[in-house]
Amino acid sequence: MKKQKTKFVCQECQTESPKWLGRCPGCGGWGTMIEEVIQVASVRGVDSAHHVLKSSSPMRLHEVETAETLRFSTGSAEFDRALGGGIIPGEVFLVGGDPGIGKSTLLLQTAQLVARAEWIVLYVTGEESVQQVRLRAQRLGALHDALYVLAETDVDVIAEHVHALGPHLLIVDSIQTMSRAHIQSAPGSSQQVRECTMALLRLAKERNLATCIVGHVTKDGTIAGPRLMEHMVDAVFYFEGDRNQRFRILRAVKNRFGSTNEIGVFDMQSGGLVDVLSPSEIFLAERSRGVAGSAVVSSLEGTRPMLIEVQALVTPTAFGTPRRMASGVDYNRVSLLMAVLEKRLGLYLQSQDAYVNVVGGVRMDEPAVDLGIAVAIASSFKDEPIRSGIVLIGEVGLTGEVRAVTHLEKRISEAAKLGFSRVLAPLGNMKRADSSIASEIEVIGVHSLQEALRLALGG
């Protein structure tokens, strides 16, 4: 028997080597070289007719005929928001997330909602039996005549069922369990994941079939498999959240047909996932009032403003080196703001432990929350509560200045809708603020962190 030829491919940068190397010569990663079987150019016994795109010829760009792309709804307003308005026929998108976070629950509920709108949905599972999927669907109330389920791991067999059934939406759960018969590698290997994704991509484009692929994530938080897989698909979404918290966030990191700034917020309940149409009210429902170290900030996620509570606890350290901890915000950003408070405002924080937490398990990365974090830290250090009814908006610079932010009007409108009476905002934004919005709530422009502290603290 002729010995198979193999090569070693880096899972990070796709660098190839004829022998195993502990360190990749391309990207310098350790332990990333995985053995793959070298495939011949033509494979007998494999029907690839269904996976080959139609022949094409070059055309002048201005001669290409365009047609309005009609999206169809997932039945979930939050999922539609993250997708950019709904699903486009022929779109292939990837959904990843930690184990047990609710990926299969989200997609099974979505499959039922799409089927309810008279679209045929094929749910392919490679991890469960059809009986297990039936029991989960019964618990979620996700049963419908137009929803079909298939327990299969061979992509070529799945393609045959797609041609026979003619679904409008295909869900594959998950890509790490899929394989192709002529590939000698085990399911989940880099070679199998790449080939299976390419086969599903060609099938989707040929039949104009919307396809959702579920992907496992590694311990680093990235989707398992070659990075090339994320480049091949049209959109990539991460389903995030703390397993000890109720809320889940569907965040887009790539979207060819929509914005990557949009997110969908869901509430995990006993009966499945429920859309959270007003996240601000949920996040502020249990807010403590009149307590030092609690501040309300406005974070903009895509086009949606959200009011979120930030809590800070500053206490004298029992050791020589003070401890710093941040949850939901960047640790380095918290250290920078504490340095500004100490240098520009004279707050002696060198001997203080500091803990900053964003309530609800949400992560905020935009600079507009700097002012709220800094004021919360100062409030806890001085043991003075922030005045009631105040929302803090602004980026803090190294000299202690409060810098302008984007979409101030949307943030002010959200604060006014939830009953807040005052907003401390950057002075640089005030000239461009809409006067009609400003009249609904008192908006005070501040040019420095010191001025913001003077207005925010005290009874």
Note down pLDDT in tens along the chain; length 459 residues: 456 778 888 877 778 888 888 898 888 888 888 887 776 544 443 444 444 445 568 889 888 877 666 889 999 999 999 998 999 999 999 999 988 899 999 999 999 999 999 999 999 999 999 999 999 999 999 899 999 999 999 999 999 999 999 999 999 998 999 999 888 888 888 889 989 999 999 999 999 999 999 998 887 778 877 788 899 999 999 998 877 778 888 989 999 998 887 889 899 988 899 998 888 888 888 887 889 999 999 998 877 889 999 999 999 998 888 999 999 999 999 999 999 999 999 999 999 999 999 987 788 889 999 999 999 999 999 999 999 999 999 999 999 999 999 989 889 989 998 889 999 999 988 866 555 455 678 999 999 999 999 999 964
Environment class of residue 459 by beta-carbon count within 10 Å: exposed (0-12), middle (13-18) or buried (19+)? exposed
- The SS3 call for residue 307 is strand
How many CA atoms are closer than 13 Å to the CA of 391, on its beta-carbon side? 29
Please give the annotated binding residues for ATP, written as ranges: 97-104
Q: Would the pTM count as exceeding 0.95?
A: no
Please give the annotated binding residues, written as ranges: 97-104
Q: What is the three-state SS of 162-217?
A: HHHHCCCEEEEECHHHCECCCCCCCCCCHHHHHHHHHHHHHHHHHHCCEEEEEEEE
